[in-house]
């Protein structure tokens, strides 16, 4: 098959969506398919390159202006740059795709490639990554309006087949986009197991002068939906039992309320904020940690699954039925706390630090669970079978 992978977010930009789309593109290639990745220009990345056996084309894009809001949006738009529509259609016509894999329902490249697919009658998969929801009433209202007045009408024009990653995504898509079992697949997040079989790139403890004390790593972009506040609010109780604990926070800071709260509680010196790091360095941070916690506001995303895979005990706050078809057992193959519950976070962290033997046992089970259910090879095979089914059912 000739498969086009489309995502405004793509390496060297970091993030779960970027990494997942790139990993799937490489896996499709490894399975013997011809792959073209189309994305938006980013930083100094070349306009075109070969990587992992497939071709990447980055279209010129305009960066979204920052509006002085409490959260910055690292977005770029390709649709507004002159000539990009024509350039994209020509690029895809030359490639002659059998199927298109779109990532992100509200990205303009998704809409552009979706419109192309409709015109050329090419089957499309659309993976839903970030959900347009917010705890803050103003943002929540704006996001609901955008979904109702813009995203859903656009998606209805080219009618993609949806890939939904978890239960929250299923509920969201049913209500916001009227999805159903007939037009959806329920595949989990794909985790690149090979990334954790390579040599470590750095000694995180030595680099940050941490020593041998207890270390918590919290890795993933800091946004309102993953604000780190439950961990910060749990720190006074954790420090009473383990006064040498330090926390390394890795990820681009779009929402800095956790830093302000740490200062209010007098625990700011316990937090080392690193910002975004290269993907190759991620295993080094997990390897240095005694435990990892990132998703404490509800959910269990790519960063948490990668941490589990790495063999480091990981705390999350999802539900046991979060991934359709995958059996999660709290305390056995996953460690869960209620969302936004600092007391539960403190209790879980203290118990894990108190019992390194049990911590290692659970970490081993978590790793096996992720490898068996979320491994890139497993998830990619599911996608490829779906492509074949969609192609067979598409009128010529």
Residues 115, 157 contacting (CB under 8 angstroms): yes
Fold classified for 2-190+376-392? Rossmann fold (3.40.50)
| Rounded average pLDDT over 145-158 | 95
Compute how many other C-beta atoms are within 10 angstroms of the C-beta atom of residue 237. Answer: 16
Q: Are 166 and 322 in contact (CB under 8 A)?
A: yes
pLDDT at residue number 70: 42
Report how far Cα 25 is from the mean position of its chain's Cα atoms.
16
Mean of the pLDDT values across residues 3-32?
Answer: 93
CA pair distance 209, 337, nearest whole angstrom: 30
pLDDT at res. 74: 64
Per-residue pLDDT tens digits for 170-225: 999 999 999 999 999 999 888 888 889 899 999 999 999 999 999 999 999 898 88
* pLDDT of 68 strictly over 60: no
Q: How many CB atoms neighbour CB 194 within 10 A? A: 12
Q: Which residues of 36-63 are buried (b: 16+ CB within 10 A; e: fewer)?
A: bbbbbbbeebeeeeeeeebbbbbbebee
**CATH number assigned to the domain covering 195-373:** 3.40.50.2000
Distance CA 191, CA 368 (A): 12
User: What is the spatial distance between Cα 168 and Cα 172, in angstroms, rounded to a whole number?
Assistant: 6
- Rounded Cα–Cα distance for residues 223 and 322 (Å): 21
CA distance 266 to 236: 9
- One fold for both 2-190+376-392 and 195-373? yes
Q: Any alpha helices (H) in 121-228, and if so which ranges?
A: 137-146, 152-158, 167-177, 204-207
User: What gap in Å lies between CA 91 and CA 113, rounded to an integer?
Assistant: 11
**Cis before residue 12, ω within 30 degrees of 0?**
yes
Domain limits, the chain: 2-190+376-392, 195-373
For 162, residues 6+ apart whose C-beta sits below 8 A from its C-beta are 125, 126, 127, 128, 173, 177, 179, 183, 184, 185
Look at residue 325 in the predicted model and tell me its pLDDT: 85
């Amino acid at each position: 098959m000739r498969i086009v992978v489309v995502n405004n977010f793509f390496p060297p930009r970091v993030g779960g969506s970027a990494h997942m789309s790139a990993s799937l593109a490489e896996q499709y290639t490894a399975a013997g398919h011809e792959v073209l990745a189309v994305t938006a220009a980013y930083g100094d990345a070349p306009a075109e390159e070969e990587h992992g056996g497939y071709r990447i084309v980055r279209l010129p894009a305009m960066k979204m202006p920052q509006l002085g809001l409490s959260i910055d949006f690292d977005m770029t738009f390709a649709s507004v740059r002159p000539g990009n529509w024509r350039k994209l259609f020509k690029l895809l016509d030359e490639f002659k795709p059998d199927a298109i894999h779109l990532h992100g329902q509200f990205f303009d490249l998704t809409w552009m490639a979706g419109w192309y697919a409709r015109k050329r009658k090419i089957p499309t998969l659309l993976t839903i990554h970030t959900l347009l929801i917010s705890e803050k009433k103003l943002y929540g209202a704006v996001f609901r309006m955008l979904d109702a007045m813009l995203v859903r009408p656009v998606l209805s024009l080219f009618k993609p087949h949806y890939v939904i990653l978890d239960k929250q995504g299923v509920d969201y898509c049913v209500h916001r986009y009227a999805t159903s079992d007939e037009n959806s697949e329920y595949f989990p997040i794909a985790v690149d197991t090979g990334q954790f079989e390579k040599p470590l790139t750095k000694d995180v403890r030595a680099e940050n002068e941490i020593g041998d004390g207890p270390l918590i790593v919290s890795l993933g972009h800091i946004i309102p939906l993953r604000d780190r506040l439950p961990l910060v609010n749990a720190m006074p109780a954790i420090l009473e039992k383990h006064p040498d604990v330090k926390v390394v926070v890795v990820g681009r800071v779009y929402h800095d309320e956790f830093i302000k709260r740490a200062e209010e509680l007098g625990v700011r010196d316990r937090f080392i904020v690193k910002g975004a790091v290269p993907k190759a360095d991620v295993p080094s941070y997990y390897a240095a940690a005694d435990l990892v916690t990132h998703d404490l506001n509800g959910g269990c995303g790519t960063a948490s699954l990668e941490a589990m895979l790495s063999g480091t005990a990981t705390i999350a706050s999802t539900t046991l039925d979060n991934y359709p078809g995958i059996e999660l057992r709290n305390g056995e193959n996953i460690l869960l706390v209620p969302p936004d519950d600092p007391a539960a976070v403190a209790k879980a962290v203290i118990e894990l630090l108190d019992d390194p033997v049990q911590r290692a046992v659970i970490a081993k089970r978590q790793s096996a669970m992720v490898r068996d259910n979320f491994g890139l090879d497993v998830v990619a095979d599911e996608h490829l079978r779906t492509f074949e089914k969609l192609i067979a059912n598409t009128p010529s």
